[in-house]
Amino acid sequence: MAGKTAIRKPPVKVRVKSAPRKAAHARARVPNVERSALTRLRLVEATVQCLYELGYHQTSTVVVTQRAKVSRGAMLHHFPSKADLMMATMDHIRGKRGEAHRKHLEKITTEREQFLQLIDVLWEEFQTPTGVARIELMLGSRNDPELGPRFSKLNLELEVIHKELIWSRAQRLGIRNRKKVDAFTQLYAAAVRGLAIDALWPQSMPDIKGAIALLKEAQLNLLETLAEK
């Protein structure tokens, strides 16, 4: 009608549907480096379990690939050969053993008691899957032309490091006879490793416990004989 002011209606807001949001965890992609490290760790941990359950000769890269649930390509990318996989596994075991020693010994306040616990912590480690895997690698590598020389070299390096660590502890207790300390370190490491092989047959355990006790008695005698009063 003329003379009347037209009433303007407010504009209708049109809602534009946005694309559905993806879950936060889907957006947060794991960096390639981290994913690669996780895949490598899965392969190594699967190798430990295979060595523990199946033994060295039955632990093939195919079996490990299946156990780790990764692709064959991922395996070959990280470990082109079985020897490469086994060396990485040995390095993983070394780290686990060192960590176990630290956790066990840091609970003990005196140097003397820490020294007397060395046999116990080594024995405990040999009862774990990584301990058994270590034995399988040591025995299996003997006749492996690719792994054997590499494992032997690493094993010698670890033996030297082990003796240095024990000698350092012995010195803090006032022991000055390096030759006897090195000999005892060789003795108890080899004895515990051999007893761990016996322990693969459970019926041997009662006698093994007595042997460990005797070994610890020799350790105590060594400490009391060589430590400066």
Read off the pTM. Answer: 0.81
Distance, in Å, from the CA atom of 139 to the CA atom of 212, rounded to the nearest integer, reads 22
Q: What is the mean pLDDT of residues 74-98?
A: 96
Per-residue pLDDT reduced to its tens digit, 9-31: 555 555 555 555 554 444 456 67
pLDDT at residue 187, rounded to an integer:
96
Geometric angle at alpha carbon 182, from 176 and 184, rounded to 5°: 100
Distance, in Å, from the CA atom of 182 to the CA atom of 84, rounded to the nearest integer, reads 31
All domains of the chain in start order, with CATH: 86-226 (1.10.357)
Q: What is the mean pLDDT of residues 114-137?
A: 96
Asked if residue 115 has pLDDT above 70, the reply is: yes
Cβ distance 175 to 227 under 8 Å? yes
Per-residue pLDDT reduced to its tens digit, 164-199: 999 999 999 999 999 999 999 999 999 999 999 999
